[in-house]
Chains A and B, each alone.
Chain A
Amino acid sequence: MTKPAALGRSVAMDIPVSNPATQLLGNAPRGFCGTIRGLDVQAGGSSLSAIELESQLIEMGFVEGARVEILHEGAIRRDPIAVRVDNITIALRRREAMAVVVF
């Protein structure tokens, strides 16, 4: 598991991004609108195991093809974020949102 210091927005650089247009939801600014391409649970720095994180994200509606929009962000380091996932709103930390690949 990565150390907390290694987290943050630089994480995106370590990830092989096949499509240059994709990015990680955890890096996206407020107002971002896009579609989920898939989940990459190896990427983020969540304290959850990969399977657990993936299950939780799917259960909250973060599935391939879902429309996402970042509606709000917190006061401190723009974290956590409130994301519209199709027609529900989910609050989560950017750390976990790093596992969501969007375009």
Chain B
Amino acid sequence: MTAAALDPRSIHLALVGAPNSGKTSLFNALTGSRQKVANYPGVTVERKAGAFVTPTGRQISLVDLPGTYSLRGRSPDEEITRDVVLGKFPGEALPDLVLCVADSTNLRLTFRLVLELKRTGRPLMVVLNMFDIAQRRGVTVDLEALSGALGVPVVTSIAVRKGGTAELIRLTEEFAARAQEPTTGNTWAPLSIAELKALQREADKIIRDTVTMPSKPDSLTTRVDAVVLHPVAGLLILALILFVMFQAVFSWAQPMMEFLAGSFAALGTLVHDTLPDGLLQSFLQNGVISGVGSVLVFLPQIVIIFLFILLLEDFGYMARAAFLMDRIMGGAGLHGRAFIPLLSSFACAIPGIMATRVIDNRRDRLTTILIAPLMTCSARIPVYTLIISAFIPSKEVWGWINLQGLVMFGLYAAGIGSALAASFVIKFFMWRDYQPAPFMLELPDYKLPRVRSITIGVYTRAKMFLHRAGTTILSMMVLIWFLASFPQPPAGAEGPAINYSLAAMIGHFLEPALAPLGFNWQIAVALIPGMAAREVAVAALGTVYAIEGGKEAADQIGQVLADKWSLATALSLLAWFIFAPQCASTLAVIRRETGSAKWMIVTFVYMFALAYVASLITYNVARAFGA
């Protein structure tokens, strides 16, 4: 249970609000980086909790509940919001105070939610967020009259400005200082259509009486949308944004990556020179430093891809992208809302699959989950980067496009194309006669993304990646090093030591199955740990070749690959990774999200089959062309 239950001076808050109400930026403003992102027990809905201390030293813990327009609970995360507010969610403290966050420029929908929340009997406070934007647009609010009409305290806030939440904190303190008011009982029950309409009428009357709203919409949003939502220009802009994003991932990150790679190489050399030759030296240099280093090098790219996704989200573009893509994705049997989870899957399939919960329809959701892993996740970037930089010349084509970037874009496009095809097949064979679920989405006004909010988001993601590198990846690397180093070759043995190791035995055992794809035994060894986390495949190749070839090989893994592999093998491995059988954590998430092992097995088998066939074709076609 939270600290709130222990310390009588601390209280527990819950943030409730409609999507796009600025709930998350308010949460970030209150808690800063002191937040913990985890899952609610039993369901894969993200639980964001944090804490802060008020100027008078009162401990306040708060939880950011999933955005919702009502307490009806039409999706798993909306149900969580309802259950937490009603105190029905096991293991979750009943909030002492519910903060209902409203976008001040858009009060109608939130006020109806406020009236609905009042019925739960929980102490309630309404936060008019983004009040600065509303004022600039000419919205004026009679706060006292509004508070009287709603029957709850109302406070304004500007989450993105320093000190913009002072009044909110002051009122919260006042609330906490008062003796606990006896709460009225919960009279909430699911609303009938008539009640829903009555509440909306009541909300509209309150707005009429206390708020003056300019009737004209945000002119900037209107002007931008005229271009961005244009049937032709809009799609071109979307394609351009994606293209720039992938060029950026490949080229902007380069200097930073080279710096990291150089640092790890230097560290490896330092260890090599300081320690006497032997197992410890080999373990630290080949196992730990070159292994973990070869994964950490990709941190800049992961930061860039998350930066883009978070920027587009905060700017308000994601909903537009869903609008533009709805019919196009509908042709492949996908829901427009699937666009956001699928785009997140470019960073990692795990948050992507978790984000599919915004899709209410079960079948649409399942289709999206099944194809999300085909989106090129950032864990494949290391593999792609390594092979592309070793085999594809870095030259400009058509004057300004980098050929390596173009190949990278092609790999992403192949992932997207295969995902759409897979979705089409799933729809055709499994759900031929079902009607598409509705698509209804608010297109929020554009907002300038705030540095602080983006920074916190990127920082949280980078921390998760580093944590993974420190745990899963490190332990896999230790295992690989062990397999590649033991048993030691007999005295006086010829050739590299790795030829006598367990890794070589496993690799040689698998080689016949993978030989048709052009994979040698070193690749076979690397593919196995690649299932724990895909980026480990690169690290494993690094370790295997380092132990085989000594220090020079570890520094120049790309160079070694270029010498040892044919172009056909390289292309075949790229094709393999487009479909690469899922990393273990993705499979685990699929199992958890779909609630059965069946879909996890289906995903694994179909992706394995696709990977094998794609590699087989690629290898043989490339060979036929003499590569």
Physical interaction between A and B: yes
Hey, which chain A residues are within 8 Å of B49, CB to CB? none
Give the residues from 177 to 215 in chain B that come closer than 8 angstroms, CB to CB, to chain A: 191, 193, 196-197, 200-201, 204, 213, 215
Closest to B69 in A: A59
Residues of A within 8 A of B70 (CB): 55, 59
Are B232 and A87 in touch, CB under 8 angstroms? no
Complex: A52 Cα to B324 Cα, angstroms: 25
Bound Cα distance from A90 to B443, whole angstroms: 6
A75 touches B231 (CB 8 A): yes
Bound CA span A38–B606, Å:
48
Would you give the 0/1 interface string for A44-70, flagging 1 where the beta carbon is closer than 8 Å to chain B?
011110011111111111011000000
Contact A89 B442 (CB under 8 A): yes
User: CB < 8 Å: which of A4, A53, A74, A76 contacts B323?
Assistant: A74
A91 to B106, CA, bound (A): 16
The answer to whether A71 has its CB under 8 Å from any CB of chain B is yes
B105 close to A93 (CB less than 8 A): no
Q: Are the CB atoms of A80 and B336 closer together than 8 Å?
A: yes
| Chain A hits for B221, CB < 8 A | 89
Chain A positions 88-102 with a Cβ under 8 Å from a chain B Cβ: 88-93, 95-96
Complex interface: chain A residues within 8 A of B327 (CB): 74-77, 79-80
Point out the residues of chain B lying under 8 angstroms from A92, CB to CB: 438-441
Q: Is A72 an interface residue (CB 8 A)?
A: yes
In the complex, what distance in Å separates the CA atom of A55 from the CA atom of B436? 18
A13 interfacial contact with B, CB 8 Å = no
Are A58 and B197 in contact, CB atoms less than 8 angstroms apart?
yes
Does the CB pair B215–A51 fall under 8 Å? no
B74 CB contacts on chain A under 8 angstroms? 52, 56
How distant is the Cα of A64 from the Cα of B200 in the complex, in angstroms? Answer: 10
CA distance A64 to B197 in the complex (A): 9
Output the nearest chain A residue to B108 by Cβ-Cβ distance: A61
Number of interface residues of B (CB under 8 A): 49
Q: Which residue of B lies closest to A41 (CB)?
A: B193
In B410-446, which residues have CB < 8 Å from any A CB? Answer: 434-444
Q: How far is the CA of A77 from the CA of B322 in the complex (A)?
A: 16
* CB–CB B225/A93 < 8 A: no
Q: Which residues of B contact A48 (CB under 8 A)?
A: 437-438
Q: Are A71's CB and B225's CB within 8 A?
A: yes
CB <8 Å contact, A47 and B225: no
B193 and A88 form a contact (CB under 8 A): no
Known interface pairs A56-B438, A87-B106; A63-B197 also in contact (CB < 8 Å): yes
Indicate if A82 sits at the interface (CB-CB under 8 A).
Answer: yes
How far does the Cβ of A46 sit from chain B's closest Cβ, in whole Å? 5
A88 contacts across to B, CB distance below 8 A: 106, 108-109, 442
Residues of B within 8 A of A57 (CB): 440
CB of B217 closer than 8 Å to a CB of A = yes
Q: Can you name the residue of chain A whose Cβ is closest to the Cβ of B216? A: A87
Query: CB-CB < 8 A to B222: which residues of A?
Result: 71
Contacts of B322 in A (CB 8 A): 91
For A63, the chain B residues whose CB sits under 8 A away are 197, 200-201, 204
Instruction: Write out the residue numbers on chain A whose beta carbons fall within 8 Å of the beta carbon of B435.
Output: 1, 4, 45-47
Contact pick for A90, options B105, B229, B326, B442, CB 8 Å? B442
Q: Would you call B193 and A75 a contact (CB within 8 A)?
A: no
Interface centre among A54, A61, A64, A79 (most CB of B within 10 A): A61
Min distance, Cβ A29 to any Cβ of chain B, angstroms: 14
The answer to the question of A84 belonging to the interface, with a C-beta cut-off of 8 Å to chain B, is yes
Are A90 and B440 touching (Cβ within 8 A)?
Answer: yes
Residues of B within 8 A of A60 (CB): 69, 109, 440, 442
Contact B323 A91 (CB under 8 A): yes
The B427-486 residues at the A interface (CB cut-off 8 A) are 434-444
Given A76-B328, A86-B108, A87-B106, A96-B441 contact (CB < 8 Å): no
A80 to B322, CA, bound (A): 10
Residues of chain B within 8 A of A52, CB atoms compared: 74
Contact call A82/B225, Cβ cutoff below 8 A: yes
Closest to A1 in B: B435
Q: How far apart sit A48 and B69, CA to CA, in the bound complex (Å)?
A: 18
Asked if residues B217 and A84 are in contact (CB atoms below 8 Å), the reply is: yes
Q: Which of B105, B112, B439 contacts A80, CB < 8 Å? A: B439
Q: A60-B109, A80-B327, A87-B106 are in contact. Are A96 and B229 (CB under 8 A)?
A: no
Given A48-B438, A80-B336, A89 contacting B193 (CB threshold 8 A): no
- Is the C-beta of B319 less than 8 angstroms from some C-beta in chain A? yes
The answer to whether A54 and B225 touch across the interface, beta carbons within 8 angstroms, is: no
Q: Give the CA-CA distance A46 to B361 in the complex, in Å.
A: 13
If A45-B435, A56-B74 are given as contacts, then 5 extra A-B residue pairs at C-beta distance below 8 Å, sorted by A number, are A46-B438, A72-B225, A74-B231, A79-B327, A88-B109
Residues of B that sit less than 8 Å from A by CB = 69-70, 72, 74, 105-106, 108-109, 112, 191, 193, 196-197, 200-201, 204, 213, 215, 217, 221-222, 225, 229-232, 234-235, 319, 322-324, 326-328, 331, 336, 361, 434-444
Nearest 4 CB-CB pairings of A with B = A75-B231, A47-B435, A76-B327, A72-B229
6 residue pairs bridging A and B, Cβ less than 8 Å apart: A47-B438, A74-B324, A75-B324, A79-B327, A90-B441, A91-B322
